[in-house]
Amino acid sequence: MSKLWEKGYTLDPLIERFTVGKDHITDMKLIRYDIVASVAHAEMLAKTGFLSNEELEKLKAALKKLSDLIDSNQFSISPDEEDCHTAIENFLVREVGEAGKKIHTARSRNDQVLTALRLLYKDELKKLQQLIQELREQLKSFSKRFGRIKFAGFTHTRKAMPTNFRTWSMALYNALGDDLKLLRFVFEMIDQSPLGTGAGYGVPAKIDRRFTAQRLGFKKIQKNPIHTQLSRGKYEFLLLHSLSQISFDLNRFASDIVLFSLPEIGYLSLPRELCTGSSIMPHKLNPDPLELVRAYHNRIVARQMECAMITSNLITGYHRDFQLLKEIVLESFEIVEQLLLVMKLVFEKLRVNQEKCRASLTKEVLATERVYELVEQGIPFRNAYRSVAEELGSERE
């Protein structure tokens, strides 16, 4: 099978396997977006005179056929083809001949992959926003059921002051609201069409970039071709940062639920269907899903740092280093989507033990309230503070 960069020589097999990596697998997640971008690009080529109307219709029909084959799991990318871009062009050449060889006019694999990735990113960001909204609705439901129940909150992993489950659950609700704002900001950054910038230096042909941007649903075009290439890695880092903020919030509340459902504390109870068991201890019901939520956050942070390291110290222009970003980001999207689904299910099934919560409100937990009772009587705060501290100290003795 021919490669888009074919020049009549044979690549060493080891180098070919090394440079292809997992792209032929990863790009099956990207190929539908590349097809959509190829349709818009072909329409622009016809509009600007590089394709005849007949050639355009043949290409569109072939791209539709390819899309149908993918939907029915009858198409895969061969390692020899390297990526989805080559696979698409090879398919078009087989289907429509010479017209298939014209599809790459006025584009490079560099702006081609950027375009497909941004279309994918936009869809994934929309999906994340929807999943966050669904979790927030579940948090509101949890708060409505259990919100008035008070319990002893913690600082330094020690009992601190009273709070209630409305305050606790809505803290995550509000944190996710911040995350939504961050996702919208990143979406706006990504919502720029890179198509037509070539390998980072434009293309020496008169094309209509605004036409393809509009056809693909981008808000605007990304004008500077060098900056377009530089933004690969920069925008991925922003994406991973926004994902890490979501996983960070879920991590914290997963830790809370693990602690609060500890039988010795017992504020919360997890149903059996959310727990796994031990292979040696018959009595164990373990909060494994929540522990994995915590651990996956660290993987997202690691992916963020991996992205930063891969793209640092590079001069302007395209570098093959960027290839490794695809798998990092796509995997991270999948992880965070799963975390949101798991936490939604947890809050749907989670129950509050009112008796354990009431029992946690011991005298020391109410100490700060006692201080402010004295303050309201006109006693200076520091004197009230010391008075209550001495009272509690003498009781411990």
> CA 66 to CA 39: how far, in whole Å?
12
Same domain, 39 and 125: no
Mean pLDDT of 179-206: 96
For 135, 177, 185, the CA distances from 246, given in Å and listed in that order, are 12, 10, 14
Same domain, 68 and 192: no
For 101, 112, 116, 201, the CA distances from 227, given in Å and listed in that order, are 29, 15, 17, 10
Same domain, 237 and 143: yes
Mean pLDDT of 382-395: 88
Question: Quick check: is 270 in a domain?
Answer: yes
Residue 316 gets which letter from DSSP? Answer: S
- Which ranges of 147-285 does DSSP label H, i.e. alpha helix? 165-190, 209-215, 225-260
Confidence (pTM): 0.91
**Torsion from C-alpha of 198, 204, 210, 215, nearest 10 degrees:** -60
Same domain, 66 and 148: no
Same domain, 177 and 90: no
| pLDDT at site 94 | 95
| pLDDT at site 281 | 80
pLDDT digits 0-9 by tens, 110-137: 999 999 999 999 999 999 999 999 999 9
| pLDDT at site 286 | 85
Same domain, 330 and 293: yes
Same domain, 237 and 344: yes
Question: Quick check: is 142 in a domain?
Answer: yes
Pairing of strands 158-164, 150-155: antiparallel
Same domain, 314 and 257: yes
Q: Which residues constitute the domain of residue 96?
A: 13-101
Question: Quick check: is 6 in a domain?
Answer: no
Domain CATH number, residue 75: 1.10.275.10
* Residue ranges of E strands in 56-181: 150-155, 158-164
Question: Quick check: is 211 in a domain?
Answer: yes
Q: How many domains does the chain have?
A: 3
pLDDT of residue 15 exceeding 90, the answer is: no
pLDDT of residue 56 exceeding 80, the answer is: yes
Report the mean per-residue pLDDT for the chain. 93
Question: Quick check: is 5 in a domain?
Answer: no
pLDDT digits 0-9 by tens, 242-290: 999 999 999 999 999 999 999 999 999 998 888 787 677 877 788 899 9
Same domain, 218 and 79: no
Same domain, 66 and 211: no
Same domain, 354 and 372: no
Same domain, 143 and 34: no
